[in-house]
Amino acid sequence: MIPFEFTIKGPPISHQAKSKSKNRWKTAVAAAAKAKIKQGDVPTIDEVAIRITYYYEGDTPDVDNIIKPIQDALIGLVYVDDSQVIQAVSSKARIDGSFTIRGASAELLLAFSNKDTFVHILITSPPDMSVLP
């Protein structure tokens, strides 16, 4: 199942948001992930890394505040528990910016073609943490 990738129309909801809107966001994230899970795939028991990129216009939440609701929404779908996430990287980029794209996945290119703000989520095996940068 890993690597696992999907997109969801934005904007993401901050972990500081009210419970009702945060719960709706988690439900939407889980539904988008479920749509990409192949029949028979089970959540990994291995450690993972997550990369979250929000392609936005206008106001946007802080990049560190969008991680937790997304990680929580993927429990039991992509991984057994979010304690398995040993590396989380979150960033944002203006969707109306100028990009050079090399090696982009079909999933990412499709999201760009829709011309709406979106969040791209990629879960991979983590880097070798025994080798320090």
In this predicted structure, what is the pLDDT of residue 100? 83
Q: From residue 112, give the alpha-carbon distance in Å to each of 23, 29, 89, 97.
A: 26, 18, 20, 12
In-domain check, residue 129: no
* Separation of alpha carbons 33 and 8, rounded Å: 9
Q: How many domains does the chain have?
A: 1
Q: Residue 117 pairs with which residues in a beta bridge?
A: none
Model confidence over 41-99: pLDDT tens digits?
A: 999 999 999 999 999 998 888 899 999 999 999 999 999 999 999 999 999 999 987 77
Residue 103 lies in a domain: no
71 assigned to some structural domain: yes
Contact 78, 93 (CB under 8 A): no
Q: Output the domain CATH number for residue 87.
A: 3.30.1330.70
In a domain, residue 64? The reply is: yes
Look at the block and give the residue holding tokens 């890394």: 49
H helices within the chain, ranges in order? Answer: 19-36, 67-73, 106-113
Banded model confidence at residue 30, pLDDT cuts 50, 70, 90: very high
Give the pLDDT confidence score for residue 71 in this predicted structure. 97
Structural domain of residue 119, as residue ranges?
Answer: 4-96+111-124
Specify the pTM.
Answer: 0.92
